[in-house]
Amino acid sequence: MQNNLTISPLIGLEVKIVHSANSSQTNMAGRVVDETHGTITLSDGNRSVIIPKDVAIFEIVLPNGRIHKVDGKALVGHPAERIRRAKRQRW
């Protein structure tokens, strides 16, 4: 399942940062409102924070309630880029 998660768009999912190189971002949580190649933007309803993907470990809550821990390095790239990368790794 984690492999599918790393190639899926993250917008709309609830995310918590369990570890970050920037300690002030650790334990932040919110809904993903934007995703770029190297960042995600979390909103908690009051403010939005841009988080670099490659320096954080995320807990992502799926729509079915399951929680998955994912290293942000696996999330670097747009979803389409992550799909191409996953296909190349299988071959």
Cβ neighbours, 10 Å, residue 11:
13
For residue range 28-68, what is the model confidence (pLDDT) as tens digits? 999 999 999 999 999 999 999 999 999 999 999 998 999 99
Give the CA distances from residue 8 to residues 4, 41, 88, in Å, rounded to whole numbers and listed in that order.
6, 16, 16
State what percent of residues in the chain have pLDDT above 90: 67
CATH code for the domain defined by 2-90: 2.30.30.210
The model carries a pTM of 0.82
